[in-house]
């Protein structure tokens, strides 16, 4: 049961494993100066840990700048920033740990959803003014306030990244002639006299940020940074599209001379006077939905059914029992009218994991059962109707999106608070359900895995791997997995657990008994992957290339080992043929797809016309489909060594793609499932949005849709599990 997101394949993503005492769990993103990882404190507090690139760790000037960044971040209160928890700027690889803040950046939000309405703009402007007042009171000038450095948290905007900030008493000065910042959001004095930049420069940047939030572009826009610099210094700002209520105040922020700009306190006072209904409640990103109508008629609203709790220990609740707490549910009507927006306005409400866009080449392969004409015809004969059901457990709080797997014509799902549930894929009836009695650990759960004839699920609260009877839901065996830190892989009939000392323990998936336990020759601390074969693959990328190791899960013996060129990430394997994505050394984007035939020791490489950031992948036959963090979808035929097509879906931070027959499916953060013609690269349809009551909640990692037997199943942020007819995607 491998993690749902890859942490990247370059050397920076694989090393180091620790920053001080903190185990680095996953890569959240990579910037020019360092990599940001997800970690936890001893008490379980989620942290974002920034680790400096090795090449900069040897630069005394950079170390001084990083030490200044840590000092600047510590000086502010933390109410409007990401508070510093710990740091070591003198370590071999300097690092800083801040509180993990779930929420998208303003840049990501505007890209997904478009301009903010007036009320939200006013709240954002007030929140940023408060943040700047707090930062300036600490004697710090940020100097790089921009949309990507503003996190939209539940309790208001947070200003992050003090990498080029400067305390007023700092002795580290900007070098003569060296401009540091982001041109579209820099003040004129940052170009004219960078050594004398003061707090008013941050106010100028605030004005530019508000213009971006109101229009989707800055007040000075050009493809050339030199032209932008000229516009900032000499030309008037373009405020077209800024609401007239805010335009005069924004124009004052963008005054050419620092003394003509308002202070943060003056900004807040004027914002309060703009409207008697000035709303001071926290800014929470508003999700734009594809439906603009007043909503469905009352008799068309879906009715959700809750799953009843199981008795203590391994007892199971079934819908027919008195304790189940279920109620009748009517199927959703077919063909109900719904309005649609253009594809370019699709939006998601995903959570950016912390500070920066994740640029690793994460990849997933899902072997779809195939959406054949025969299966589609069979389902139509059975008059399949779309359904939905809310997965929850009475007596235990349940939240988050359901994650499912399909096996033996049954849908098995899990969700925080619900250990597992067996669902009839035809009508959504729940055969049995188990609550997670181990307590809530928070975060996302891993999808179930059917191995050794049993259903394997992870109790997030107790951190145990639990093997259930798929027919009844009763526990057969369980294993404490806390020490393995998520390094769990199911391969054939074995469960491989990699410990912190690099020792691998293999359990029999059917009985839980140990099959073998030792270190695998030639491997450090491996992360195993498997794609339906009885082979475990470990991939280790370093500066010299990528080492690929095939391991026999029955005894731990190494079947073969190869070193391939480039930084590669495994995305699929079938009958001795492996597919990889290749990551560029300079930008950590996917720049090529590699096909390697282990039986013939033959390798081919297909370069992409345009690199893909944050790529996730699915493999079908010889075609690799790459879905980027920006919604770009690329099909690469490795058999013909050519890129077949590229499609811009405009869905930011989607789930990994799933291929079934001639269709490709992926999920969006607001609960929609998007269908694409995998042959032609054309959009086919999308389901309705299901953001739920908490429509502004963020989602850190989206579950994969499940495509099987002509149907598509997916979990939504409102906790609903739903099913649609894959053959009717054009009518979704």
Is 73 strand, coil or helix?
A: helix
Are the CB atoms for 660 and 371 separated by under 8 Å? yes
Furthest-apart CA atoms within the chain: distance in Å: 77
Sign for the CA dihedral angle at 61, 62, 66, 72 comes to positive
CB-side exposure of 144: number of CA atoms within 13 Å?
Answer: 14
Is 264 strand, coil or helix?
A: helix
C-alpha distances in Å from residue 13, one per residue of 359, 460, 586, 630, 687: 10, 25, 14, 21, 35
Sign for the CA dihedral angle at 241, 243, 247, 250 comes to negative
Sign for the CA dihedral angle at 89, 94, 100, 104 comes to positive
Are the CB atoms for 481 and 441 separated by under 8 Å? no
**Whole-angstrom Cα distance, residue 152 to residue 521?**
47
Structure letter (DSSP) for residue 672: -
Choosing from 10, 134, 144, 552, the catalytic residue is 144
Structure letter (DSSP) for residue 219: S
Q: Which long-range contacts (CB under 8 A, 24 or more apart) does 297-306 make?
A: 300/332, 300/333, 300/336, 302/332, 302/388, 302/720, 303/327, 303/328, 303/329, 303/330, 304/329, 304/388, 304/389, 304/390, 304/720, 305/329, 305/389, 305/390, 305/428, 305/430, 306/390, 306/392, 306/393, 306/394
Are the CB atoms for 472 and 27 separated by under 8 Å? no
Tell me the DSSP string of 517-556: EEPPTT-SS--EE-SSSS-EEEEEEETTEEEEEEE-TTT-
C-alpha distances in Å from residue 239, one per residue of 126, 578, 599: 19, 52, 62
**Whole-angstrom Cα distance, residue 477 to residue 467?**
5
Are the CB atoms for 511 and 493 separated by under 8 Å? no
**Whole-angstrom Cα distance, residue 162 to residue 633?**
34
**Whole-angstrom Cα distance, residue 660 to residue 726?**
9
Q: Is 144 a catalytic residue?
A: yes
Give catalytic residues, as residue numbers. 144
């Amino acid at each position: 049961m491998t993690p749902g997101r890859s942490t990247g394949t370059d050397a920076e993503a694989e090393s180091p494993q620790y920053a001080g005492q903190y185990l680095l769990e996953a890569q959240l993103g990579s910037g020019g100066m360092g990599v940001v990882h997800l970690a936890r404190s001893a008490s379980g507090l989620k942290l974002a840990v920034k680790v400096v690139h090795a090449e900069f760790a040897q630069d005394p000037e950079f170390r001084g700048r990083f030490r200044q960044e840590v000092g600047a971040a510590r000086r502010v209160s933390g109410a409007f920033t990401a508070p510093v928890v710990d740091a070591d700027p003198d370590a071999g690889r300097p690092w800083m740990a801040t509180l993990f803040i779930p929420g998208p950046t303003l840049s990501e939000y505007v890209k997904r959803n478009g301009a903010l309405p007036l009320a939200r703009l006013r709240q954002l402007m007030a929140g940023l003014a408060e943040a700047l007042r707090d930062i300036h009171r600490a004697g710090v000038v940020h100097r790089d306030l921009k949309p990507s450095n503003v996190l939209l948290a539940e309790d208001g905007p947070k200003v992050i990244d003090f990498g080029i900030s400067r305390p007023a008493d700092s002795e580290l000065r900007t070098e003569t002639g060296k401009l540091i910042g982001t041109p579209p959001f820099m003040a004129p004095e940052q170009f004219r006299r960078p050594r004398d930049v003061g707090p008013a420069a941050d106010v100028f940047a605030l004005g530019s940020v508000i213009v971006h939030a109101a229009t989707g572009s800055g007040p000075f826009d050009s493809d050339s940074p030199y032209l932008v610099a000229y516009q900032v210094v000499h030309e008037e700002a373009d405020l077209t599209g800024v609401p007239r209520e805010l335009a005069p105040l924004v124009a004052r922020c963008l005054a050419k001379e620092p003394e003509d700009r308002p202070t943060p306190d003056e900004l807040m006072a004027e914002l309060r006077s703009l409207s008697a209904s000035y709303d001071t409640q926290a800014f929470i990103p508003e999700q734009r939905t594809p439906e603009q109508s007043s909503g469905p008629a009352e008799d068309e609203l879906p009715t959700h059914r809750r799953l009843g709790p199981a008795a203590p220990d391994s007892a199971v609740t079934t819908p027919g029992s008195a304790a189940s707490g279920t109620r009748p549910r009517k199927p959703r009507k077919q063909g109900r009218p719904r309005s649609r927006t253009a594809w370019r306005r699709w939006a998601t409400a995903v959570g950016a994991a912390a500070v920066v866009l994740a640029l690793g080449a994460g990849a997933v392969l899902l072997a779809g059962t195939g959406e054949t004409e025969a299966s589609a015809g069979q389902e139509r004969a059975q008059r399949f109707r779309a359904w939905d059901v809310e997965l929850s457990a009475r007596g235990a709080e349940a939240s988050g999106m359901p994650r499912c797997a399909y096996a033996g014509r049954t849908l098995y799902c899990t969700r925080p608070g619900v250990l597992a549930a067996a669902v009839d894929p035809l009508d959504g009836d729940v055969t049995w359900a188990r609550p997670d009695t181990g307590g809530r650990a928070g975060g996302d759960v891993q999808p179930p895995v059917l191995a050794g004839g049993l259903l394997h699920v992870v109790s997030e609260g107790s951190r145990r791997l639990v093997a259930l009877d798929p027919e009844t839901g009763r526990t057969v065996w369980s294993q404490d997995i806390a020490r393995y830190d998520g390094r769990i892989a199911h391969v054939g009939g074995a469960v491989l657990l990699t410990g912190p000392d690099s020792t691998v323990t293999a359990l029999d998936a059917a009985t839980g008994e140990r099959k073998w336990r030792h270190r695998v020759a030639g491997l450090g601390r491996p992360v195993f992957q498997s794609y339906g074969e009885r082979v475990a693959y470990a991939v280790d990328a370093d500066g010299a290339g990528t080492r690929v190791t095939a391991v026999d899960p029955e005894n731990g013996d190494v079947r073969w080992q190869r070193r391939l060129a480039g930084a590669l990430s495994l995305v699929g394997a079938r009958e001795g043929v492996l597919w990889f994505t290749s990551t560029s050394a300079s930008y950590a984007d996917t720049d090529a797809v590699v096909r390697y035939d282990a039986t013939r020791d033959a390798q081919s490489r297909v370069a992409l016309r345009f690199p893909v950031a944050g790529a996730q992948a699915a493999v079908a036959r010889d075609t690799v489909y790459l879905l980027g963090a920006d919604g770009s979808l690329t099909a690469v035929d490795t058999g013909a060594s050519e890129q077949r097509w590229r499609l811009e879906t405009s869905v930011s931070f989607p789930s990994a793609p799933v291929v079934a027959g001639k269709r490709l499916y992926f999920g969006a953060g607001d609960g929609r499932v998007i269908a694409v013609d995998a042959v032609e690269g054309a959009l086919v349809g999308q389901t309705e949005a299901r953001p739920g009551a908490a429509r502004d909640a963020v989602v850190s990692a989206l579950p994969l849709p499940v495509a099987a037997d002509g149907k598509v199943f997916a979990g939504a942020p409102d906790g609903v599990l739903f099913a649609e007819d894959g053959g009717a995607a054009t009518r979704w």
